[in-house]
Chains A and B, each alone.
Chain A
Amino acid sequence: MDHQNAGYLNVYGPPSASAQFPYSPRGNFAPVSPYLNFDPAYLAQSGPEWIFPEGASRQRGRFELAFSQIGGSVMTGALLGGFNGFYTGLKETAAAGHVGSVRRTQMLNYITKRGAGIGNTLGVIAVMYSSFGVIFSLVRGVDDELNTVSAATAAGLLYKSSAGLRRCAVGGALGFSLATAYCLWTGRDRLQQMFSPSPA
């Protein structure tokens, strides 16, 4: 509100300095709507603010992240497998003495086969991990590191479940250790706070 307009709404008295900024913490509360008449100290001054729908959690759920994780795994696997196939194909076709279109087709076969194979493997593991994670977080009602670790262990167990007890256990242990390492890495700040001697 500038001074030309101030006279129009100003039915309570001459415009004062605080009328310019009606949300002042003390003093002239009168000229503004009672709904705007509050102490700005109640507004959070620092830190990001979000409005969450009622009952919504404060972080993105596992289901929301699941598809991105699965897609990322598939793409990473396809990329790694593609490079591996390119390298192997280059070596093998040179050793076999292929030239021209035969070599090109053979190279394409190597790249697509290896890429698809590793991509599918990683993708299936990611699907298992994500479904276990979603199920655990739904059942327990909270989403924390315990879900991550147990989902990874269960995914490892399930992926190797038809290869014999021993390999099944190895798969589960691999999932457990990977997830534990991940959780220790992402939660290192909290761990540091927990174990460091308090400054006071």
Chain B
Amino acid sequence: MAAKTLTIDGKEVSAAEGATILEAASDAGITLPTLCHLEGVYDVGACRMCLVEIAGTPKLLPACTTQVSEGMNVTTTSERLQQYRKMILELLFAERNHVCAVCVANGHCELQTLAYRQGMDHVRYDYCFPKWDVDITHPLYGMDHNRCILCTRCVRVCWHIEGAGTKNVAGRGAKAQIITDLFQPWGESDTCTNCGKCVMSCPTGALFYRGATVGEMERDRSKLEFIVTAREKKQWIP
């Protein structure tokens, strides 16, 4: 496969053809903020946190779904990008009911960590305060839609690592939500294998072990990567 040479933040890097800007940046030691990206499953460009500037293109593009090309000049950090990232975070917080202080993921939440890192000190938009339910019909796990950012990590791990296809997305726009099977309570799902990969993948407190209390949800993502590596490369590296 031909290698492509490009510039990221003034640094000359080379990446394999078909690689994404996110992969190329990561290989070059440049970290981009991400939320929907998860090692082991394909990217969907849902959260827009990894937006970058590409010389010659007026619009911002997500690094996780944009492939590298020869001579590309990418900027990952600029005032404009910072403003947009902060805005995206504020919109995420305003859209649902994220109450860190009493959340099971407090202290271990990717959304919270990013908000700290990006310097989100307040939210400029009116909170929507939508009414969402908590589904704790499953004997082991719970899903709180109030804390969901629709990154679809859970859907992707369910379909493409576990292969059960239990988790899906239903609805459009602000009414979009993660569902189980054909929109039934999780505890009544015929397909769920109780594997818990979705819980491990969740970046916020939306998916949790039943009975977890404040700050108790810590995720172990290495197991997901372990399975993918074992399956694709036939290497069992814990």
A binds B: no
